[in-house]
Amino acid sequence: PQPNPQVGAAVKAADRAHVFHSWSAQELIDPPAIAGAEGAYFWDYDGNRYLDFTSGLVYTNIGYQHPKVVAAIQEQAATMTTFAPAFAVEARSEAARLIAERTPGDLDKIFFTNAGADAVEHATRMARLHTGRPKVLSAYRSYHGGTHQAINLTGDPRRWASDTGAAGVVRFWAPFLYRSRFYAETEQQECERALQHLEDTIVFEGPQTVAAIILETVPGTAGIMVPPPGYLAGVRALCDKYGIVFILDEVMAGFGRTGEWFAADLFDVTPDLLTFAKGVNSGYVPLGGVAISRKIAETFAERPYPGGLTYSGHPLACAAAVATINVMAEEGVVEHAANLGACVIEPGLRELAERHPSVGEVRGVGMFWALELVRNRETREPLVPYNATGDANAPMAAFGAAAKKNGLWPFINMNRTHVVPACTITETEAKEGLAALDAALSAADEHTV
Ligand code: PLP
């Protein structure tokens, strides 16, 4: 693509004049103007091209502009752009069928939403109505979305400003051995103690008051902490013991990200409700949803479910989901994510960790990896303090600038960088990204002690 700085400047000027951006102090940001994107890359109007190690916000699992999905959206737009949710339409029926065929166990009914946060809102509402109980338990290191209930369930600092008396939300610590809350030294200890802590929380809250436990199967934005073997099965057993609904939030982890259709498959667990969005259609058109177990679906067999959305199961979004899931199946995208993750990304990151003192831990699975950056490997002091801004965040800013200088757009959250490219990335592209990461980590190393 030809650079066109003049158009870029106009796009930026209109943005600065009129667009109010998420999670930002409006006068302190400088959003880059983007001219186009394809596969694992995007480019600006000034001739800079970047390998996207963020997949947008971890959602373009099949990369940008997949021609088959673009064509399916065009075709759907030409035949039936939209139709109200109370009717049966082909794209919606087919999307629900393809999703239900892939979700674990008996999660066979699909309630469609517009995105992830409203999927979480509806899953928790279903759990409360199903049990008649008021509380939902969620983990401190988590992100569940930006709407009222979802942000209150969230553990990360984005919650703080909106924490206006989260009625019925109780938080607990999920396992994370590298920064154990349980003084554990092995994964097994971490698992056992985290389960004991969760059971204590349930007992002291009063099991008869707890409607649901919600967990990201593999927590994403909070740090990609793959749970130790046995943890999710243990949570399942606690939910069964106390009659609690088990919700797995797979908005980020689902649809190939972990090298399985759903991360729950890695652990052989079946929740009662599973939320999804993002990868369901790689975000080409907004779509999310809740996959519902037979037991919970039965609650609403003779009694109306009191909730809905104008665009529930929007045909354009559902047609994009049908095409995306078919592309993923035909092209073996899920298997590719597992293989490339295990054979290229993981060994590449471990090799970087050996050479760069700023890397405290490498963890992840599939196309879902985190590097925990530290000032000191012995003390594990994070490279920047928790939720740092301004000067305190300078080491991570230096890391990010060095990555971009080398043509890599990195995912950065606090003291971590996540390696979450499109699940369709090639080996050559992955190696190009790892080389850029190598250079950027040298900038981080300068801040180690
Ligand atoms: N749940 C998880 C695990 C997420 O990662 C996110 C978004 O990043 C959400 C929910 C919210 O999704 P959305 O931004 O589509 O509302």
- Using a 6 Å cutoff on CB, does residue 249 contact ligand 1? yes
| Ligand 1 atom nearest residue 57's Cα | 8
What values do phi and psi take at 193, rounded to 5?
-75, -35
- Using a 6 Å cutoff on CB, does residue 215 contact ligand 1? no
Q: How far apart are the C-alpha atoms of 302 and 77, rounded to whole Å?
A: 35
- Using a 6 Å cutoff on CB, does residue 214 contact ligand 1? no
Q: How far apart are the C-alpha atoms of 239 and 214, rounded to whole Å?
A: 11
- Starting at the edge strand found earlier in the chain, the sheet holding 245-249 runs 109-113, 288-292, 273-276, 245-249, 210-216, 135-139, 169-172
Cβ neighbors of 44 (< 8 A, separation 6 or more) are 8, 32, 33, 34, 35
Looking at residues 232-238, what average pLDDT do you find? 98
Q: Which position has the token pair 């899931």?
A: 325
CB neighbours (10 Å) of residue 108? 16
User: Which residue has the CA at smallest separation from atom 1 of ligand 1?
Assistant: 144
Q: How far apart are the C-alpha atoms of 446 and 438, rounded to whole Å?
A: 13
- Using a 6 Å cutoff on CB, does residue 277 contact ligand 1? yes
Cβ neighbors of 293 (< 8 A, separation 6 or more) are 105, 106, 107, 108, 270, 271, 272, 273
| Ligand 1 atom nearest residue 249's Cα | 3
Q: What is the 73 CA–ligand 1 centroid distance (Å)?
A: 23
Q: Which position has the token pair 């230096």?
A: 398
Record the tokens describing residue 355, joined without a space.
């050479």
Q: What is the 117 CA–ligand 1 centroid distance (Å)?
A: 6
| Ligand 1 atom nearest residue 116's Cα | 12
Q: Which position has the token pair 């000067």?
A: 391
Each domain of the chain, given as residue ranges in start order, spans: 5-65+332-445, 67-331
Q: Is the pLDDT at 1 greater than 90, yes or no? A: no
Per-residue pLDDT reduced to its tens digit, 366-422: 999 999 999 999 999 999 999 998 999 999 999 999 999 999 999 999 999 999 999
Query: Under CATH, what is the fold of the domain 67-331?
Result: Aspartate Aminotransferase; domain 2 (3.40.640)
User: Which residue has the CA at smallest separation from atom 9 of ligand 1?
Assistant: 145
Cβ neighbors of 277 (< 8 A, separation 6 or more) are 59, 113, 115, 116, 119, 251, 287, 288, 289
What values do phi and psi take at 343, rounded to 5?
-95, -20
- Using a 6 Å cutoff on CB, does residue 251 contact ligand 1? yes
- Using a 6 Å cutoff on CB, does residue 117 contact ligand 1? yes
Q: Is the pLDDT at 165 greater than 70, yes or no? A: no
Q: What is the 250 CA–ligand 1 centroid distance (Å)?
A: 9
Q: How far apart are the C-alpha atoms of 323 and 301, rounded to whole Å?
A: 30
Look at residues 220, 272, 279, 268 and name the one whose alpha carbon lies nearest to residue 248: 272
In this structure, whether the domain defined by 5-65+332-445 belongs to CATH 3.90.180.10 is answered with: no
Q: What is the 10 CA–ligand 1 centroid distance (Å)?
A: 31
CA 6 vs CA 10, 12, 171, 284: distances in Å: 6, 10, 50, 27
Q: What is the 116 CA–ligand 1 centroid distance (Å)?
A: 5
Q: Is the pLDDT at 164 greater than 90, yes or no? A: no
- Using a 6 Å cutoff on CB, does residue 92 contact ligand 1? no
Sign of CA dihedral 371, 269, 142, 19: positive
Per-residue pLDDT reduced to its tens digit, 266-292: 999 999 999 999 999 999 999 999 999
User: Which residue has the CA at smallest separation from atom 7 of ligand 1?
Assistant: 145
Q: How far apart are the C-alpha atoms of 268 and 265, rounded to whole Å?
A: 5
Q: What is the 120 CA–ligand 1 centroid distance (Å)?
A: 9
Sign of CA dihedral 170, 176, 179, 180: positive
- Using a 6 Å cutoff on CB, does residue 120 contact ligand 1? yes
Residue in 218, 251, 273, 275 to alter for ligand 1 test, most ligand atoms within 8 A of Cβ: 251
Q: What is the 115 CA–ligand 1 centroid distance (Å)?
A: 7
**pLDDT bracket for residue 353 (50, 70, 90):** very high
Q: Which pLDDT score is estimated for 370?
A: 98
Q: Is the pLDDT at 163 greater than 90, yes or no? A: no
Q: What is the 31 CA–ligand 1 centroid distance (Å)?
A: 21
Q: What is the 110 CA–ligand 1 centroid distance (Å)?
A: 18
- Using a 6 Å cutoff on CB, does residue 422 contact ligand 1? no
Q: Which pLDDT score is estimated for 166?
A: 65
Per-residue pLDDT reduced to its tens digit, 298-317: 999 999 999 999 999 999 99
- Using a 6 Å cutoff on CB, does residue 156 contact ligand 1? no
| Mean pLDDT for all residues in the chain | 97
The pTM (predicted TM-score) of the whole model is: 0.98
Q: Which position has the token pair 């699975």?
A: 365
- Using a 6 Å cutoff on CB, does residue 220 contact ligand 1? yes
Residue in 58, 60, 143, 276 to alter for ligand 1 test, most ligand atoms within 8 A of Cβ: 143
Q: Which pLDDT score is estimated for 345?
A: 98
| Ligand 1 atom nearest residue 286's Cα | 15
